[in-house]
Structure formats: C-alpha cells, structure tokens
A and B are shown apart, each in its own frame.
Chain A
Amino acid sequence: MWSKLIIDMKALTVTKEPLDAEFLELGGRALIAQYMIKNIPPQCDALGAQNHLIFCDTVFAGTKLTTAHRLSIGAKSPLTGGIKESNVGGYAASLLADQGIRLVVIKELPSNKGLWLLHIDAKGEATLKDASAFEGVNNYEFVERVHEIFGNKLATISIGSAGERQYKSSSIQVSEFGSGHPSRAAARGGLGAVMGSKGLKAIVIEKPDVKYTVEYADETKFNEVCQKLNKVIAAAAKNDPFHNIGTVATIEVTGVNGILPVDNFSGKLFPEYAEVGANKFMNNLATRGGRNKLSCQPGCVVQCSNCYNDKDGNYLTSGFEYETIALFGPNCHISDLDVIAQMDRICDDIGVDTIETANSVAVCMETGKIKWGDADAALALLKEMADGTEFGKLFGNGCEAVGKRLDCKRIPVVKHQAMAGYDPRNTIGTGITYATSPMGADHTAGLTMGRAFDDSGRTAQAYVSNKLQVAMCFADSMMCIFAFAHTVPVLPLFGELIAALYGGAPDFTRITSMGVKTLLTERAYNKMAGMTIKDDRLPDFFYNERSVATGSKFDIDDVELEVLFDF
C-alpha cells in the first residue's frame, strides 16, 4: 500500500498514512490539481498557513517505465497567484517511490522562526530535524554537508538563500542521480518561497534498506507493455538531438527563424547565436572533460543531461539547458557560453528560476539600468540577489516586479510569470499556450514549434496548442515529456499500461481524460483565485510590435483564446 506523509510545521509533527484511495490512480500534475482544489483555498495567501506544499510521484512510480520518476511539486504560487505544478528530474522521486511514498504534504507555518529538514532514513522513518545550522547555506554547500552527515546514498530536495528569503522567483533544487549535484530545478512559480515560508530547508531521502514492492493488477502484462514502450523510446532517443547533444541543440532551430528571443523579446535575429550553440557547447565539453548523455534519474534512456566544466576543467554546472542559454544569452545580448554557465551555477546555488531571473536581467538592460550585453553587470545583479540588498530582494521577486519598478513598457510575462525562450510571434501556438496555460507563460505546457502549418501564421495554431496542452498535462502526470515525445506512434499502449497496473479497461481515454480533467480543474482553481479572461492574454507589445525577424505579430483573435478549452 502506497503511503503519504503529512508534515505539520506548526505542531512540528510527521504523520505517515495510507494514500487516499481517490488519489491512488493519480500522479504528478493530475494529483496536484485534484489535491489542491480539495485542500487549498484558492484565495489563500500563498505564503500563509493555509497553503500546502505538495511533493508527489507519478502515476507509474515504482515501475520500470523509463523516466517515470519525475517529481511534481505543487502549491498556490506566490508569483502567479494561481495553481502551480512544477516538475523536476533528479533522484528524489525514485527514492520516494522506493520508500513507498507517493505524496508528501507540508502544512501550516512554524509558530516560531526556525529552519527544519525532513529526514527519511533507510528504515523508512521520517523525522523533522533542526536545520538552523544551515540557515543561509546555498544548495551546493548544503548538499556537500548533508553527504558528510548522512552519507551519499540519498537524494536531496532543498532551497537556497533565495527560498529562505521567500523570493518569488525562488526554486526548489533536486540532486541529480549519480553526481548528487543540486542542479535539477523545480524552478517556476516561486515554490521555493513557499518552502521557505514553511521553514523547511530540505527533504533528505535515503535509499531504503528494503525497497517498496508495487502491487500490480497484472504484473506480467505490465512488464510486457512497459518493455515495448521502453524499447520504442530507447530506439527513437538514439536520433534525438536532446540525447546526442542536449537541449541546447534547440538553438540551432530557433536561432534562424526568429523564435530565439533576442534583446528582451525584441523580435530581432541574433547573428552570433552559434557562439552559444550546439557546436560550441560540444567543443567545450570535449576539450574540458565535460560530459553529455547523462541521466538525471535512474533508468532514463533519453539522457539529456550534462556536466559543463570551466576553462580550467573544473566543474561549473550541470543540467545546463536551452532556456537558460537562450535567455541569459541572446535575450540579454550575451554570447559567451562560459559566463552563461556561471549564471546558471549561481541560480542553482542560491535557488532561483533561470528563466525568471534572465528575463529580469533583460528588463534591466531594456530600461538602461545596465547595458545590453554587459555580462559583468548582469553578474553583479545576481550578486545583489544573493547578498539580499534592497534591489537584490526586488530582483528576486521576478521580471514583472523589476519591470514595474524600472517603468519598463515591455514586460514579457503572462499571469505575472516570465516567458521561456520562444518568441510568441514566431511560434504562435506557443504564444497561445503562454496566454492560456493555467501555469502562466510556460513552454513545457505546450510548445507547438514546428507542429502547425507555419510557426508565424495563424492556421491550426490553436488546435495544436489545445492538443499539446492536454497531452503535456497527462505526460506530466506519468513521466518526463522528453521520453513521452517518442511514444506518440504508440500512445494506446499507455491505456494497456494503466490497466495492467491498476486494473480496469485498457482504454487510452483514461489517460486523455486525466489530461482534460486536470486542465479544467486548474482553470477552475485559478478562476476561484480571482483570475479572469484578461489573464489569458499576452502583453500588448506582442500584439502591436512586429518581429523584425519575420514581420509577424501575435494576431490571434481573442475568441480563439476564449474557446480554447471548450471540450
């Protein structure tokens, strides 16, 4: 029987209970939506006692399905003011499943200021421990010290100083399988601030002495279908640029067609994009002892992760991704991959979202606070955030807060959350996703690039955004979307898989309806939280300014956005 942990930060108690029957066939994003609508008042203060912070496994946790061990983290977001599910790779979800834990709920606020860590030991005992010694300690040092105390057969889920200070851009960092580096980020929506508000520095999960045994309706059938799916994914991954290079390969596509954001979403092209592109990245890995094709969680066959070293061959960062490179790079007119890697390391260490932070830097450049392309000045802004200066604290609250203070007319946010590395005028379906996703401007909610007729035209964009938003909803409830992307030719197998695990009919609509239900639940939650139709729009400048790379505007009729989720 799967269990759940309830941590009451007011009473400082830990309770272990069987998982509620209603959540048994749910996981990831789907579970978070259903948990939140039943348990967290939509109008509550995101940093107050009524908000819960939820960690959960996927529907297929504990099984051999490749990448089934994504960790989903949910809460009402202090950044968007709405529902938030942010999922992350790393080792934690795998060990949680090995412990037989599907759900961890952090409730209430501590009565007195303090810092604790939740320790789940090898015997399965979960206890809250005083962590005041770790106050102000950032993620890399924290992990090192945890390894000294508890050994290295464990995974960590932690916040840095940004989360402790409750910055609205703060992330929750998870350690990578193998290296233990805290470089995997549940970055979006400021969930690190919720963790900080609850006084929880970290969750440390040890590898259990006895691994939890999953109960199957039909284990033989499950293994047969699972093997088929794993083979399909492994075969396709061999030709996947994310495997052979990493997500940075995306820049080779977006750099030439105006999708890559340049100079705060100016719509221009960036002729030097190759300086931060795939060849440069691979060359730097090869000449400095870096690596790609790494798995962030056990059993992953896509292996998109990497380890990036500095010029002297010393470890600098890992999980170095396209979004970070695009937004700290061309979008800030910076073309030095090493300095971007340094920024990535700082963000992971203090625990902030690289997307939100890089957009804040671009807004500072747009308004003349610092110069375009000035990497030193950008690093100085990150230092202010790390040091907690007055501007640093504002900076930590995200792109919109910074833009408003600096009177910026072009702030690229939706639902108060900054855009990912895709200009919505040149991948219009992605713009529709940015506008309508309950998560705010989030590319992982449905990146349509290359899937509609013409990325900068109107035809079929809403259709593709709708289909992908539903698909991402159920994919985020099952596994990593990079592996899921390879299963499209064999999708009905997931119907067989869920039936073999939980019983019932081998019907793929069980999966699709989980996606639709999740989306509609999230939208209902946001509505109760006070969001209106006006929150489902892009900032005006995307409607009014042409992208000079292509001449396109975001010319989608409001009606198309308003009826997008009519099912």
Chain B
Amino acid sequence: MITSYNVFVPSIMGCGSSLRTGIKVRELGCKKVLVVYDKGLKAVGIADTIVENLHNSGIETVCFDGVLPDPPDTMVERAAEIARNEAIDGIVAIGGGSAIDTAKGINVLINNPPPIMKYFGMQKRLKLGVPMVFIPTTSGTGSEVTNMCVISCTSRGNKDSVVSPVCVATLAILDPELTLGLPPKMTAATGVDALSHAVESLTGNQSNPLSDALARDAIHTIAKWLPIAYRDGSNIEAREQMLLASMFAGMAFTNGLVHLGHSIGHTLGAHFHVPHGVACAVALPEVIEYASRTEYKKVRMICECLGVELPVNATPEEIGAAAKNALRTLIKSVDIPNMKELGIPLEAVKKVAPLVTADSGFALVPYRIPSSKVAEMLLSAYEA
C-alpha cells in the first residue's frame, strides 16, 4: 500500500525549554502575539511566566484567558474577533488540548470569515493565518503536532473538527516541568487520551510504517510510565516520558488518524460532559477487539507493546480478546472510571449508539459497523 508521511511541526523539548518562548517567537518575526490559555493556568503562575518571557524579548502581548473545556465555536469566534481587531501577528497557546485547539480555531478565522462550522472537515484551500507556537501543559492531546482542531458546535450539539494546514503550529515547545503540577486524575485522563491516539492510529486505515513506529513506542512508554506519573506526579522522568509519548502519539495519529474510539469519545463527551480522555478510553478495549477482525497484525503489535505474549498461531479473535484485557488492565490501573461509575444511566448509553455512527470520524473506522453493534460494545464496557 502507498501512504504519505506527514511530519508537520518542528519541536524543541526539555526541562526549562518554555523559557525560550520569547526568543523563538522573536525569531519568527512576530511583534504582537495573542496568548491563549485558561484561567487555571494563570492561577498556577505558568501563563504569567511565559507572558513575561515574551515581554522580555520585546514582544507585545494580547491575552485571551477565557479558554473553556471542549472549546465551543462561539468562544472561538469571539476570540478570533479580538485577534483581528488587535491585528496580532502571532499566536502562543499554553495549556492542554482546549487551549491549543482554541488557538487553531482562531487562526482559521483570522483570514477566513466566520462561522467556524463552515470549515469542518478536510480543508485544503483555506487562507493561511499567522505563526503559532504551542506549549502543552498536559501529556495527552498531542494537538501541538497535529493539523486538526476539535471544536464543539453549539448549534448542533456535537463536536467536529477542522483539518487544515492552517491548524499546524510553526513550533512546539515541550517543557516537562510545566506538567509537574497536573493532579493525578488529570494525569490519568490525559494519559489514556494519548494511549487511545496511539492504539487507534496503529489500527486505522491510514497508518504507515512511520506512524506505526511512533504509535508502538508511545504505547510501550505509556504502559510503563503512566502508572508511575499517576502515583507520583513529581517524578520528572515519568513526566518527561509521558510528554514525549503524547507527542509521538500525536504525530502517529496525524498520519494514521483515529477512528471508532474517538467517535465514541466525542459522542459521550458531547452528551454526558465526560472529560475527553476518559470518554475515549471507556470503550477503547472493545474498539480494539472489534478492529482485530481485519487489523489483527496491528492488534498483535499492541499486545507486544503491552507485554502480552501470544501463541504464534493465535486467531484474530484470540488476539482481539487478549488486547482487550491488557488495555482494560492498564486503564483500570490508573483508576479511569467506567460509564456506570461516571453516573451515566444504562438507558442513555443505549440511546447514543446511533449518534456514534453519525459522528464525522465514523468514516475512518477499519470496517463498517452498525449502531446495534456499537451499542453492544458500549454495554460490554458499561461496568467493565
């Protein structure tokens, strides 16, 4: 099979690297940047440190600190209006997926008229925006190295994404020290998000040897270091490994794309306000078991990365069952709640299955699956 390799974003990584933000932004030729983050990041002092760092390099800043989780289109459009009115010539985003995706959405709208929902899907001909620098403070989204942003569509009540070169950062700065303060629950939720990027991109129809290598390394790293980072947030080696795995998984799914686990995640997220990583993880073991029917060679790789030994002649069903168990063990080891523990009623879960198959990412599933089968998967995962 012929595939394309997409490597988008130059990155610098290491403890303290966020202190190079000002110098790097200046090198990009920016004079006045929009700094995008949420109020929590200001409270812990990270935002102020980077804003000061920018000022010290002579960069003027305009701050947008109103980032909301699962960024709504209305918020993105408001922020973009600020960006246009202030005539900024660069964007710096600090935070998790929400802050980075907000920045991408703003960039889409700098030279393309709103609303942003006009641009959902693959966009090859959007007018370019301004240089963007992304500084992740969680290890999960991978958004700092991808070409897509996920936006909540308030009028339709679902999530959709813009996939475009306009969403690609000019530079990613990965500073593990910025993730030290992440509480255990968030560490777990973002860590399993990275895990779902890796296993889904490995089993997606668009995967290639590069994305496979990145995904396998990410799965291996997450299996080893996520439980450690979860138990001891101050372990800088664990934090560094998880940030790296998150970036690798992000690079992997930029090539291999994600599929059914994310369609489930987007649907549960939109309807029950479950954090993105948790929503993607609750049925991930079932998703990979399903994928094993056609992608059993890849699912076997997942088993290997998770340290599961399989007989040489294992059938696709056996491989799928083994992967399902191993993934669930890993997810449970960091106390990711199941749907019952999340307080979602069983009846409500049954009802969302048709919405999963209506999600725009459903086009990417390895092979067609009707909503009745999706419902079975969700029921299997409900109390697991």
| Interaction A to B | yes
Known: A551-B2, A559-B293. A453 touches B122 (CB 8 A): yes
Min Cβ gap B35→A in Å is 34
CB neighbours of B28 from chain A (8 A): none
CB neighbours of B294 from chain A (8 A): 557, 559-560
CB neighbours of A454 from chain B (8 A): 4
| Partner among B122, B204, B367 whose Cβ is within 8 Å of the Cβ of A462 | B367
Q: State the CA gap A472–B136 with chains docked (Å).
A: 46
Min Cβ gap A490→B in Å is 15
Q: State the CA gap A566–B367 with chains docked (Å).
A: 11
* Structural contact, A459 and B204, CB atoms closer than 8 A: yes
In the complex, chain A residues 432-488 whose Cβ is within 8 Å of any chain B Cβ: 452-454, 456-460, 462-464, 466
CB of A552 closer than 8 Å to a CB of B: yes
CB of B257 closer than 8 Å to a CB of A: yes
Known: A453-B122, A560-B294. A552 touches B2 (CB 8 A): yes
Nearest opposing residue in chain A for B293, CB measure: A559
Min Cβ gap B51→A in Å is 39
CB of B138 closer than 8 Å to a CB of A: no
Give B43-54 as 1s and 0s: 1 = Cβ < 8 Å from A's Cβ atoms. 000000000000
* Structural contact, B206 and A457, CB atoms closer than 8 A: yes
Interface size on B, residues (CB 8 A): 20
Known: A453-B206, A457-B206, A555-B1. A566 touches B368 (CB 8 A): yes
CB neighbours of A464 from chain B (8 A): 363
Most A C-beta atoms less than 10 A away, residue of B1, B2, B293, B367: B367
Most B C-beta atoms less than 10 A away, residue of A456, A458, A459, A557: A459
Known: A453-B206, A550-B2. A463 touches B257 (CB 8 A): no
Nearest opposing residue in chain B for A460, CB measure: B363
CB of A14 closer than 8 Å to a CB of B: no
| Partner among A459, A557, A564 whose Cβ is within 8 Å of the Cβ of B257 | A459
In the complex, chain B residues 273-332 whose Cβ is within 8 Å of any chain A Cβ: 293-294
* Structural contact, A559 and B367, CB atoms closer than 8 A: yes
CB of A133 closer than 8 Å to a CB of B: no
In the complex, chain A residues 538-567 whose Cβ is within 8 Å of any chain B Cβ: 550-552, 555, 557, 559-560, 563-564, 566-567
Known: A457-B3, A458-B205, A555-B1. A463 touches B293 (CB 8 A): no
Q: State the CA gap A459–B363 with chains docked (Å).
A: 8
| Partner among B3, B293, B364, B370 whose Cβ is within 8 Å of the Cβ of A460 | B364
* Structural contact, A462 and B368, CB atoms closer than 8 A: yes
CB of B362 closer than 8 Å to a CB of A: yes
Nearest opposing residue in chain A for B371, CB measure: A567
Known: A551-B2, A559-B293, A559-B294. A459 touches B368 (CB 8 A): no
Known: A560-B294, A566-B368. A463 touches B2 (CB 8 A): no
Min Cβ gap B9→A in Å is 21
CB of B369 closer than 8 Å to a CB of A: yes
Q: State the CA gap A442–B332 with chains docked (Å).
A: 50
Give B199-233 as 1s and 0s: 1 = Cβ < 8 Å from A's Cβ atoms. 00000111000000000000000000000000000
Q: State the CA gap A454–B3 with chains docked (Å).
A: 10
Give B361-384 as 1s and 0s: 1 = Cβ < 8 Å from A's Cβ atoms. 011110111100100000000000
In the complex, chain B residues 1-57 whose Cβ is within 8 Å of any chain A Cβ: 1-4
Q: State the CA gap A563–B370 with chains docked (Å).
A: 9
CB neighbours of A459 from chain B (8 A): 204-206, 257, 363-364
Q: State the CA gap A463–B263 with chains docked (Å).
A: 14
CB neighbours of B369 from chain A (8 A): 563, 566
| Partner among A452, A555, A557 whose Cβ is within 8 Å of the Cβ of B367 | A557
Most A C-beta atoms less than 10 A away, residue of B205, B206, B257, B293: B205
* Structural contact, A567 and B364, CB atoms closer than 8 A: no
Q: State the CA gap A541–B293 with chains docked (Å).
A: 25
Q: State the CA gap A463–B362 with chains docked (Å).
A: 8
In the complex, chain B residues 338-367 whose Cβ is within 8 Å of any chain A Cβ: 362-365, 367
Q: State the CA gap A323–B204 with chains docked (Å).
A: 34
Nearest opposing residue in chain B for A558, CB measure: B294
Q: State the CA gap A116–B363 with chains docked (Å).
A: 51
CB neighbours of A564 from chain B (8 A): 368
* Structural contact, B2 and A456, CB atoms closer than 8 A: yes
* Structural contact, A458 and B363, CB atoms closer than 8 A: no
Nearest opposing residue in chain A for B207, CB measure: A459
Nearest opposing residue in chain A for B257, CB measure: A459
In the complex, chain A residues 24-49 whose Cβ is within 8 Å of any chain B Cβ: none
CB neighbours of A559 from chain B (8 A): 293-294, 367
CB neighbours of B4 from chain A (8 A): 454
Min Cβ gap B293→A in Å is 6
| Partner among A463, A551, A555, A566 whose Cβ is within 8 Å of the Cβ of B363 | A463
Min Cβ gap B121→A in Å is 11
Known: A453-B122, A459-B205. A560 touches B367 (CB 8 A): yes
Q: State the CA gap A59–B3 with chains docked (Å).
A: 44
Give A137-148 as 1s and 0s: 1 = Cβ < 8 Å from B's Cβ atoms. 000000000000
Q: State the CA gap A220–B369 with chains docked (Å).
A: 42
CB neighbours of B122 from chain A (8 A): 453
Inter-chain pairs besides A453-B122, A559-B367, 13 sampled, C-beta below 8 Å:
A454-B4, A457-B3, A459-B363, A460-B205, A460-B363, A462-B367, A462-B368, A463-B362, A464-B363, A550-B2, A560-B294, A560-B367, A563-B367
23 A-B pairs with C-beta separation under 8 A: A452-B363, A453-B206, A454-B4, A457-B3, A457-B205, A458-B205, A458-B206, A459-B205, A460-B205, A460-B364, A462-B367, A463-B364, A463-B368, A464-B363, A466-B368, A552-B2, A555-B1, A557-B294, A563-B367, A563-B369, A564-B368, A566-B368, A566-B370
- Nearest 9 interchain pairs by C-beta: A463-B363, A460-B363, A459-B205, A459-B206, A458-B205, A566-B370, A563-B368, A560-B367, A557-B294
Interface on B for A, CB 8 Å cutoff? 1-4, 122, 204-206, 257, 293-294, 362-365, 367-370, 373
